[in-house]
Amino acid sequence: MSPGPSFEAHEIDLHGHRAVYRTAGEGPTVVLIHGMINSSRHWGDVAERLAPTHRVIAPDLIGHGDSATPRGDYSLGAHAASIRDLLVTLGVERATLVGHSLGGGVAMQFFYQFPQMVERLALVSSGGLGQEVSPLLRGAALPGSAALLRLATNRRLVAGLAGAGATLRRRGVAGGVYMQATARALAPLRDPGSRRAFLQTLRAVIDVRGQRVSARDRLYLLGEMPTLIVWGERDRTIPPEHGREAEREIPNCRFVSLPGVAHFPNLEDPDGLARALLAFLAETEPVTIEGRDWGAAIAHRNGGPPRARAEA
């Protein structure tokens, strides 16, 4: 299913740059954050399943989709701040955040920077929970990868990949969806600005040894925050074990495994992912975090409030 008319695209100006987002439905707000070289379009099937009971907002991260590709900061913190500015502009004070892959890292960073705006957190095949990542992504972070990426985005090559994926999908081969998703992701990278933004985003979180940014040391801050982790059992991009290990460290967390699914649950099994999200939304209460709660959580972890330092 492709995004229908109910998943409408909008454009606003943020700090002098074009920011695109899509919306659907009415009700409590759910923010869907896409992964690397994906876009809000990749959430279409999930958004339409959430829309009957929730207001869905899916931004194109800066440098991705139809948003601008400026030279600048593509760190997790910068992406999180851009989403904060979009939500404030739209009058959204609090929301449930759902992040896929890179978007999971952005969602966790958003929670860390703006905890008072987060009611629940859902992580889908998320980055930031361990070091291991596919060799393809590690290789893309190497010097000289820009030239290879330019070759990989050749129009004929991308079209061939998309066609092969469609053929496999018609034959019921699960890898066909993955190939189609890869082709959709590569197509926008024919634009030099998009390639530059992709490489800057990639190198902010991945190097030759794997993921270089981790949220594991701060998972305790989630405390009683309702947290959902969803992973495809066949994921070879980021190991499902990362999610299982995080589940054991997050106090109020549930883990859902999707059989037969690789790294793109939103494309490979939107029904299964939407069911997991809807159950999570229905069976948990939103949480509001105040500044004093944040300080208490850090103090508790450190064995109490900081002691006064004696004057020499």
Residues marked active site are found at 101, 235, 263
| Pairing, β 118-124 against β 227-232 | parallel
How far the first Cα of the chain sits from its last, in Å, is 69
Query: H or E segment at 157?
Result: helix 155-170
Starting at the earlier edge strand, list the strands of the sheet with 95-100.
Answer: 8-14, 17-24, 55-59, 29-33, 95-100, 118-124, 227-232, 253-258
CA 162/CA 63 separation, integer angstroms? 23
CA 62/CA 59 separation, integer angstroms? 9
Do the beta carbons of residue 132 and residue 242 sit within 8 Å?
Answer: yes
Do the beta carbons of residue 268 and residue 177 sit within 8 Å?
Answer: yes
Q: 101: which residues sit within 8 A by CB, 6+ positions away?
A: 34, 35, 36, 38, 124, 125, 126, 127, 237, 238, 263
Q: Which two tokens stand for residue 33?
A: 């954050």
Q: Which of 25, 28, 31 is nearest to 52 (CA)?
A: 25
Q: Which two tokens stand for residue 258?
A: 């999707």
Backbone angles phi, psi at 292, to 5 degrees: -70, -30
Q: Which amino acid is at 210?
A: G
